Amino acid sequence: MQALRKTHPRAGLELVDIPEPTLEPGSDDVMVQVSAAGICGSDLHVDTWTSSYFFIAPSLPVTIGHEFVGVAQTGPLAGRRVVVRPSVTCGTCAACAAGQHDLCERRRGIGMTRDGAFAARVRAPLRNCVPVPDALSDELAALTEPLTISMQALRVAGDLAGKRVLVMGPGTIGQGIAVLARRAHASQVVVSGFDDTARFEALRRMGFEDLVDVSCQSLEGGARERTGGAAFDVVFEATGVPATINDALRLLRRNGILVVTGIHAQALSLDLTDLVRNQHQLRGSFRPPESDWPEALELMQELAPALAPMVSHVLPLSQALQGFALAHDKQACKVLLKPEHHDA
């Protein structure tokens, strides 16, 4: 079958033919036939080979792709559409043995350290498969994983009702945060980006007008112009660019909260004196609890009209490299890849 793989610890991906995966006797895995898989910002970092993803080097070659929906081919869910949590717990550590899988410290990632979904079929643990409601399209179901990341960011931020919110980074995570912040009754949601025409157009179609393009104006100037000079109560960083943290803190009110969701390939120089004197709260947000996944699917159905503009391109897997080029060049919002029938 055809698969998009990281084959060497350097920049670049390869679309190659590999044998179909098989299930080992006694394994808890099931086979999933992939229907659609999204290109994530993490996949772009794996492609360019930034240092924050060097950890996958011992697992190469590996098929990438971790945002996906498919049809279970084996096991109790055979014949049903499922989304798959890409974080695979070890099952043997003390936390797993106690049933506290969210605390597992020996995880493997589908699409990172074990073969992922940019292929016709992928192995996945049964416990990672979550049934998809019939009314939800494959295109929206493929966005479940990034929506759970956005959900976790809001959980870390706390109550947003009546709060003025800045979302830095208009990609899938940032768009999800913006939609959920609006749903949580934030008084204002401003989104910033750098030369992100396609993503800004999607955000406008999603109902957001307070957009700041920092390629043609300063973040501080553009943001304060839209708030009438007021500072923000909560800022979400979803850029992956360390310097934006300092930009965010300058826009944050005293006692305000900055939630960092981006994965950063470089270190940050931070003036802690200002942070302390302003009593700013710097919070990291990463993996949601497993229990968020069914809730995310319910939210997908509720918010389907608002979320639909996030998907800008649906391409066959054979055009994966073109899809990555669109994403790298910011000519796309979310690119989905669909394996072709002859790949199966």
Give residue 343's pLDDT band: very low, low, confident or very high (50, 70, 90). Answer: very low
Could you tell me the pTM of the whole model?
Answer: 0.94
Say which CATH superfamily domain 146-284 falls into: NAD(P)-binding Rossmann-like Domain (3.40.50.720)
- pLDDT of res. 263: 85
pLDDT at 344 over 80: no
Quick: pLDDT tens for 226-278: 999 999 999 999 998 888 999 999 999 999 999 999 888 788 889 899 999 99
261 phi-psi bin (left φ>0, alpha ψ -120 to 50, beta other): alpha
Per-state percent for the chain, helix, strand, coil, to nearest 5? 35, 25, 40
pLDDT at 31 over 90: yes
- pLDDT of res. 341: 57
The vertex-71 CA angle with 342 and 137, nearest 5°, equals: 100
Quick: pLDDT tens for 66-111: 999 999 999 999 999 999 999 999 999 999 999 999 999 899 999 9
What rounded mean pLDDT belongs to the chain?
A: 95
Percent of the chain with pLDDT over 70: 99
Give the domain ranges of the chain.
2-132+303-343, 146-284
Q: What are the backbone angles phi and psi of residue 257, rounded to the nearest 5°? A: -115, 130
Class of domain 2-132+303-343: alpha beta
Residues 323-329: contacts with CB under 8 Å, at least 24 apart: 323/39, 324/13, 324/39, 324/43, 324/44, 324/47, 327/39, 327/44, 328/44, 328/47, 328/48
Can 2-132+303-343 and 146-284 be said to share one CATH topology?
A: no
Q: Are 328 and 44 in contact (CB under 8 A)?
A: yes
**For 14-28, what is the mean pLDDT?**
93
